[in-house]
């Protein structure tokens, strides 16, 4: 039997901590509690790297929470518009439904597809960095999240979707608002924001189709419309589902990673470490999602403990990536370390579809920052994050000009 966690201080810290020191202390305490921690609401925290990988790599025993699970776990809240919309994406599908939807989108995110988009993404991200550096140099200060990362991630996604770059502000706002619905026990005001976002996305998708305001070929919207009659209700639903998926799996992930990379660049950045290794360590230390949920599809054993069918498991990616049994000096940012065992993007058939896009965008950002932003200082002590056990994305990261 797992031991029931009664340390309410740890539970509070799990929902609130946001600094590097607090992350280290939080995940260190979780590892001291054990690889599997029972929670008062009947769920379990999975904290060790081995146990997390066992869950993520076994979709037969451990499945994505689906609409019925949310109805059971959330009650009336499961019927909210945003919850309903997100439930239709890869995050909450299983088996053949998951495989079919993944096949539809996968061609846009293969290594070959990312290579084809690399020059465009590099130009967008590098241009954003150069413009940001110029503005901060002229004005004396800026915010790396609002003024650099958000516009860059939004423009990259507009290009992949095949919509106007002028929509980038709308795209990033939708991504931010929709992410609330995937947080553990989100506040009612956040759920309201997410519900409003899903309604706006539906209207946006309808306008795209009706007005044909998208690139006629090469983008995801055009591809989806080529598969069926553009006036069919199913096609509208497909476009909206694609938009929800791209907002959550593409934009939010890229924004979180690029923001973390800029924050890390404010430390002792050793340019001898190539950008890919630097980004990989950012992903390990500060993953875009610090946990994912899975449901036990049958009675099973995990980390030597019995787990009943229907149990909700909070798979702690953040803790797994700092497991001292796998990573030497787990709380030290060290881009030279082997990264093959990081679980940031999951494992098995549910491996994150947008992983390549997020990595590529961040690598181009790190490269451009090292080239052009040597005269800027990142005010690490003044950064702000979202609070929450899952998404701890940076909200603000002040940057100033280095005094000469």
- CATH number of the structural domain spanning residue 298: 1.10.630.10
Strands 312-315 and 44-46: parallel
Lowest-confidence segment of 19-33, 217-231, 248-262, 357-371 by average pLDDT: 217-231
Residue 330 has pLDDT above 50, yes or no: yes
Strands 141-143 and 44-46: unpaired
Report which DSSP code applies to 284: H
The answer as to whether 2 is a domain residue is: no
Q: Confidence band (pLDDT; 50, 70, 90) for 278? A: very high
- C-alpha 392: how far from its chain's center? 10
Residue 109 has pLDDT above 60, yes or no: yes
The answer as to whether 21 is a domain residue is: yes
Report which DSSP code applies to 3: P
Average pLDDT, the chain: 88
The answer as to whether 3 is a domain residue is: no
Report which DSSP code applies to 4: B
Q: What is the pLDDT of residue 1?
A: 47
Distances (CA, A) of 114 to 30, 160, 349, 352: 37, 10, 19, 14
- CB-CB contact of 262 with 365 (8 Å): yes
Mean pLDDT of 113-132: 95
The answer as to whether 142 is a domain residue is: yes
Predicted model pTM: 0.92
Q: Confidence band (pLDDT; 50, 70, 90) for 3? A: low
Residue 4 has pLDDT above 70, yes or no: no
Residue 5 has pLDDT above 80, yes or no: no
- The structural domain count of the chain equals 1
Q: What is the pLDDT of residue 239?
A: 82
CB atoms within 10 A of CB 103: 9
Q: Which range in 142-156, 175-189, 347-361 is most confidently predicted, on average pLDDT?
A: 142-156
Beta strands in 99-184 (DSSP E): 141-143
> 45 or 247: whose pLDDT is higher?
45
At 351 the three-state DSSP class reads: coil
The answer as to whether 185 is a domain residue is: yes
C-alpha–C-alpha distance, residues 194 and 204, integer Å: 15
Closest CA to 308 of 292, 297, 321, 324: 297
Q: What is the pLDDT of residue 147?
A: 97
Mean pLDDT of 146-155: 97
* Residues 6 or more apart in contact with residue 30 via CB below 8 angstroms: 10, 14, 37, 45, 47, 316, 319
Sign of the CA dihedral with 228 first, then 251, 216, and 236 last: positive
Residue 139 has pLDDT above 50, yes or no: yes
The answer as to whether 62 is a domain residue is: yes
pLDDT tens-digit map of 280-293: 999 999 999 999 99
End-to-end CA distance of the chain: 61
pLDDT tens-digit map of 236-269: 777 888 888 888 888 999 999 999 999 999 876 6
> 57 or 68: whose pLDDT is higher?
57
Q: Report the alpha-carbon angle 235-103-50, nearest 5.
A: 130
The answer as to whether 177 is a domain residue is: yes
Range of the domain at 221: 8-401
The answer as to whether 1 is a domain residue is: no
C-alpha–C-alpha distance, residues 241 and 247, integer Å: 10
- CB-CB contact of 215 with 163 (8 Å): yes
């Amino acid at each position: 039997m797992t031991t029931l966690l009664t340390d309410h201080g740890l539970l509070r810290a799990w929902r609130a901590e946001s600094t590097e020191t607090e992350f280290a202390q939080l995940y260190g305490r979780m590892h001291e509690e054990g690889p599997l921690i029972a929670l008062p609401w009947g769920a379990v925290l999975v904290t060790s790297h081995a146990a997390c990988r066992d869950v993520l790599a076994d979709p037969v025993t451990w499945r994505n929470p689906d609409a019925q699970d949310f109805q059971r776990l959330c009650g009336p809240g499961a019927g909210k518009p945003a919850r309903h919309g997100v439930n239709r994406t890869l995050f909450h599908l299983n088996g053949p439904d998951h495989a079919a939807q993944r096949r539809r989108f996968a061609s846009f995110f293969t290594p070959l597809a990312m290579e084809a988009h690399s020059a465009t993404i590099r130009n967008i991200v590098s241009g954003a960095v150069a413009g940001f550096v110029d503005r901060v140099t002229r004005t004396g200060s800026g915010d790396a999240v609002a003024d650099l990362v958000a516009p860059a991630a939004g423009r990259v996604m507009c290009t992949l979707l095949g919509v106007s770059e002028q929509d980038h502000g709308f795209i990033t706002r939708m991504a931010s608002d929709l992410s609330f619905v995937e947080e553990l026990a989100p506040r009612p005001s956040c759920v309201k924001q997410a519900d409003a976002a899903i309604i706006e996305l539906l209207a946006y998708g309808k306008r795209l189709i009706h007005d044909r305001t998208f690139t006629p070929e090469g983008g995801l919207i055009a591809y989806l419309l080529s598969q069926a009659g553009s006036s069919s209700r199913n096609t509208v639903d497909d476009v909206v589902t694609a938009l929800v998926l791209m907002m959550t799996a593409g934009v939010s992930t890229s924004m979180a990673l690029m923001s973390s990379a800029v924050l890390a660049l404010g430390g002792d950045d050793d340019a001898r470490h190539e950008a890919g290794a630097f980004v990989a360590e950012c992903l390990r230390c500060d993953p875009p999602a610090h946990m994912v949920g899975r449901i036990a599809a049958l009675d099973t054993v995990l980390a030597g403990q019995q787990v009943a069918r229907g149990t909700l498991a909070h798979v702690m990616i953040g803790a797994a990536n700092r497991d001292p049994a796998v990573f030497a000096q787990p709380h030290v940012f060290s881009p030279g370390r082997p990264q093959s065992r990081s679980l940031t993007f999951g494992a098995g058939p549910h491996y994150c579809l947008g992983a390549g896009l997020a990595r590529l965008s961040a690598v181009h950002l790190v490269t451009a920052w090292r080239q052009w932003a040597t005269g800027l200082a990142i005010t690490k002590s003044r950064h702000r994050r979202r609070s929450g056990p899952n998404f701890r994305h940076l909200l603000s990261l002040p940057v100033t000009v280095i005094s000469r």
